[in-house]
Structure 1
Amino acid sequence: MSTSSFLLNNGVEIPSLGFGVFQSAPEETAAAVTEALRVGYRHIDTAAAYGNEREVGQAISTSGLSREELFIETKVWISDYGYDETLHAFDKSAGKLGVEYLDLVILHQPLPTNFRKTLAAYAALEKLYADGKVRAIGVSNFMPEHLQHLINVTNVVPTANQIEIHPYFQQKDLLALDTDHGILNQAWSPIGGITFYYEGDGGSTLDDPTIGAIAQAHGKTPAQVMLAWHLARGRSVIPKSVKAQRIAENFDVFDINLTPDELSRMDDLDKGVRRGPEPVSLTLESHGMPIPEA
């Protein structure tokens, strides 16, 4: 059985399977998170740039769950990089989410064109961590050169690196580097949702015959065995959906025991083609946007 939690490098426990709200419209987010919490999810992943932190907060406030039962993760957008700016970004996110502290706050992108602002933003996360306002800090979409530079000049090693990982794009060198530093690999688009509408060579992971055969052998769906593959390989996953059936289906994976051969066959599906944006392509000029106040 796949583990239901991982231990971060600072000793904080994180549920291994979280619920994501990327591209969930604000008007659908509260209901989706409410359903996820009802099903049993306790880890919710959002971001300032998603524009739905407030709706996540609404679902949390009406859930009847205590704050200590939940693991809430959000991301600081590049527009709010800089020491003072990132401190204020925490206030904005915490205010929208309706919480006094956050379990994990990460930098959404490395911003290579102004890495000094990135480092200043991370220094602010270190301050928030030291002050007990966040239980853990990390990064997202950091490639090896960004990660190594950050580690070389900062004091707190990130606890997690949230990156595009699915059977068709596995970033094995980056996964290994994260692991070498004790950084949890956290997969966004873990079932290859970003591949479903891809028009070039490669197709959708949901239609992959290898994944389909493994799913059939276990009486599960392709999405479920992809999540089980991540968990068996020690990766945190944050699938998203606004459909109740999919929300429940994605959580029903802890009884899947993939064999070493099945895991290897899925490892061999890597096409090495990124489907999301190249991290180096995101700049303040192209992707900067104001993040509203709480």
Structure 2
Amino acid sequence: MATAAVTAAVWRGEGGRIGDDLLALALREAERNQVQGLLARACPDRLSGLLRSVEEATGQFRYNLAVATARLRDAGVRPVLIKADPDGDYVYTNFDLVVGDQWEAARDALAGWYVRTSAHSLEPDKLLLHPARGPAAHLHRTVSWFGIPVVAADRLVADAGEAAAGWLVPSPDDQLRIWLAHAVFQNLAFDLSELMAIRSLLRPETVAEAEEEAQREGWRGAFTAALRTARQAIRRLDDGDPLPLPVPLPASASIAVAREHVRHLARTGQGAAARREVVLRGPLTMVKRCRLALA
């Protein structure tokens, strides 16, 4: 019932009164799927406090993004903002900037803006720079997960467009591929906010270009499986059919990655990354599936 209430209000924009008890459960579902701001707008009379906090968090994100990217731009660094829409709600704890081989220059440019750093032990090519307030800048050498490269930074920059505020924005096919890769290589699922982002990118030419690039990057089978899952979920949401959220990927997507991406990395001279994926793929998949089952 809670999931149905969230999808009706957020996905299909359907009106109707949600009872107080159901609203509390729906809010938990909305937070799990990063759409609490949209739910608050659907129920502004009872979620006005939440709406204010979402708007404040979004404003802080936009401010931090503008300040950080201005410093980077002044230092000659051209960051690509991925997995974020500055025009929508943003309540996550960090924002992702791909800086490629300008890594050291990016750190130097942001010195004095951040007050501390942090990193994940399995993410050697990423670094979080935390300012005194609001979301951190999450620097990436390339688009990768757990140290396994997927989308090369140089190709990402070459195809990116310039945002009015100064950072680079991935091309539509890169955006689609990054959302699908995030599910395949990291989350093994799509939450509602991700499905909304993917839905806006499902133009035939965009899908065709993204599929061609995924083939070149060595994960076309997983791309196809993830895209199929996303499309099926989107159709069910459009039709009002019940489905679990987040929507899990089939095991075939992980199997496809294990089979084809490792071979691709080995074949293209990335032996260390291939060995890393062989070692990490199984344990990471098991951990993620357990977390999904317990959520």
Task: With the length of structure 2 as denominator, give the TM-score of the two structures.
Answer: 0.32
| Higher RCO (CA-CA < 8 Å; seq separation 6+) | 1
State the TM-score, normalized to the length of structure 1.
0.32
Based on CA coordinates, which of the two structures has the bigger radius of gyration?
A: 2
